[in-house]
Amino acid sequence: MTPRKPSRSTGPGSGWVFSELHLPRPLEVDQVNGMLLRIAADRAAPLLVFEARAEHNQLVQHLVGTPAEHVVWVQRSLRHLLPGLDIDGMTEPRLPVQRSVHVRLRPPSLALSTERAELTSLSLLSALDARLAEGERLVVQVMLGRRLSPKHLPKELPDPTESWWQMVLRGELSAPTPIRDQIDTRSGQHGFAATIRIGAAAMTPERRQQLMIGILGALSTAQDRGTYVDLRFEPANRFNQPRLPWRWPLRLGATELTGLLGWPLGDRELPGVPPRHPRPLRVPEAVNRSERLFAVPGAPGPSAPVGISAQDLTAHLVTLGPTGSGKSTVLVNLVAADIAAGRPVLVIDPKRQLIRDIVERAVPKERIGDVVIIDPADAKTGRVVGFNPLNVGNRDPDVVIDGLVAVLKQVFHDGWGPRTEDIIHSALLTLARVSATRKVPFTLMDLPRLLTDDRFRRSVIGQVVEDPGLWSFWSSYLAMSPGAQAQAIAAPLNKLRQYLLRPSLRAILGQRDPTFRLRDVFKGNKIVLVPLNEALIGPITAQLLGSLIVAEAWSATLERAEEDDPGSRPASVVIDEVQQYLHLPVSIDDALTRSRSYGVGWHLAHQHRAQLPPSTRAAVDSNAKSKIIFRPLDPDDAAAVARQAPDLQAVDFLSLGKWQAYANLTSDGTPAGWALVRTLPSPEPTGLGGRIRAHSRDHYASEVPQPQRAQPIANNQNRNEAPNGELGRKRRRS
């Protein structure tokens, strides 16, 4: 069965207004007792009608009705008395019943059981959960009228269970102690003059009677010693347009009514009502509902889609969930909104499906020219978009190389020690600084040659003789024996060379001066898409390329400090399986904090928390203000995220269905609170995918470079080079 749409309107009847109740779970008997006692004790409280309504293929709907002038008081009071209660109006009138009966209690002075409230409520919900055909409905209506005050019983109390013929034969007898106690249960507390009605709509009188008899059976579970309930027919219009009876048929203590409302009492799973888990937390009113929309509420309440505003995207987002849970759908919708708004986006995807959906569904015609696809699989076509991390341009080479070394250290961590890091850092910094003086920069492909090819090395390091730090390093490196050099660089260099020789990686990283500079992704308002299919290029190759691109994105983020107001043009970096690629030269905590000030929001997705190192996990928890959590595979993950959500338990997260998630979304820089949501489907295909790919290849791709030895720098005639490959400055001639 599906939940009803939340609603708001005036119900039929003379001045009555009905509202829908979304009752909290678990709902304890004592809570409802307290609510009813409080209302019964208030002589100024208005008339109330509670209904439990069942219809074909719907969950049981709980309503409260009151005269129009008392709606605000009733809703406020119920919310105060039942924490967690949500109330909505009705968008459609209450549908009528065709037959109605009211309940009689015999003898009327004896109290119903107050010990079996949960059982009676369960029985009512079970009866309401009957297999109703289309057009059938079944309703229990409880009308609470005049308030009754507690009173003392007289010393001599007639036995109400005595029949008239017993009175004739034996005279009037006093009520025995158990009966007296039963009467005192009611008379000793506040109560109501009340009427309980049952209404039904069905094709035949027999079916209507069958449905109402089921409710009578459920109500009979409230009978106590000497009591019984029966039914009396009355006109259906008294039910459909609630009318006060000429004479109230029931006088009930407040606690007698608790089980008769058909509310979901207790902490067990009950028929006809939503399951306890996942808990249906409503979307807070502060959450954005106008832009970057990706989900609809999964709990009763306003049904408008929800999203994260452009203003709040820089507060960062983390999405957690296994493959197939709906993470990619969320990311596609967010990226589609950013693209439609003209914002720059960088997306890294290890499986290609996310990129495929973005290309096929998220790019409008007017932004085709902004799409740059860096796809290693394009290498086999002979043209591919390149990326040269050593093309530093006017950037600080030290900053660029710090990011590059951080990537290599993480990817090739086996055998990486302080000496190795010193060698790799100095070698890369040498290439970067010399590249800044050349028309054609070096690439990562030149790193192995710099460390192993003596002639090439001498032609390069001759350009850094005026750099004390680098010159000191190369002097000591060259002083090492060939065996010592080989031992120092063997582990990382062997791995690096192994992957740099792969055609797909060489095709991208071997381009000395690519048509498109990745560092311009934000400046140029580009849409850069990086599909890294691990099955095609291997996991380490994908990790190396993806990590290098993330490091370049970080450098591009820092360059936004030169903009007057970067926050006015926010940008997004979307990384799926973030644990494979997030290797930066600064702490993640610092990176996310600084990115926010530079107008760049990071959208980080992964499958389980253990994939992230503890420090990274803590940084993401504290800095990614928006969180979307799908059903975790690991109970430990469920427990960990539940600790961040005070209103939820681990079982709530473990009970999420497909496309369901709990989201805590940022509003004006502050998390608005957790809510149950259901993801929206991806946008429909645009039919532009082929044009987008072709435009990217035609305008941003270059011919795949062929393996060749780089020309010695001597051919460039730089002024600091020593002749004949000798190191040092030229000796002055006197």
pLDDT digits over 291-333, tens only?
Answer: 999 999 999 888 899 999 999 999 999 999 999 999 999 999 9
Whether 721 shows a pLDDT value over 80: the answer reads: no
Neighbour tally for 567: CB within 10 Å: 15
Residues in CB range of 61: below 8 A, 6 or more apart: 4, 20, 51, 52, 53, 54, 55
Q: Report the pLDDT averaged over residues 594-601.
A: 97
Report the share of the chain in percent with pLDDT over 90.
Answer: 72
Would you state the pLDDT for residue 725?
39
397-411 and 418-435 helices, crossing angle to 10°: 140
Is the pLDDT at 370 greater than 50, yes or no? yes
Please say if the pLDDT value at position 346 is more than 90.
yes
Q: Which pLDDT score, from 0 to 100, does residue 154 have?
A: 64
Look at residue 106 in the predicted model and tell me its pLDDT: 86
Does the pLDDT value for residue 607 go beyond 50?
yes
> How many CB atoms neighbour CB 621 within 10 A?
16
Q: What is the pTM of this model?
A: 0.86
pLDDT band at 729 (very low <50, low <70, confident <90, very high): very low
Sign of CA dihedral 562, 566, 569, 571: positive
Burial annotation 277-315 (CB, 10 A radius, 16+ → b, else e): bbbbbbbbeebbeebbbbbebbbbbeeebbbbbbebbbb
Digit-coded pLDDT (tens) for 236-282: 999 999 988 989 999 999 999 999 999 999 999 999 999 999 999 99
> Which pLDDT score is estimated for 495?
75
Q: What is d(CA 176, CA 157) in angstroms, rounded to the nearest whole number?
A: 9
**Bridge partners for 677 per DSSP:** 297, 661
pLDDT band at 415 (very low <50, low <70, confident <90, very high): confident
Query: Cα–Cα distance between 581 and 349 in angstroms, integer?
Result: 10
Asked whether residue 472 carries a pLDDT value surpassing 60, the answer given is yes
pLDDT of residue 639: 97
Q: In this predicted structure, which of 439-443, 553-557, 723-727 has the lowest mean pLDDT?
A: 723-727
Confidence of residue 540 (pLDDT cuts 50, 70, 90): confident
The band of 536, judged by pLDDT with boundaries at 50, 70 and 90, is confident
* Three-class SS state of 17: strand
Q: Is 609 a residue whose pLDDT tops 70?
A: yes
* Between 729 and 279, residue with greater pLDDT: 279
Mean pLDDT score, 474-498: 85
Q: Which two tokens stand for residue 722?
A: 């020593």
**Cβ atoms 7, 88 nearer than 8 A:** yes
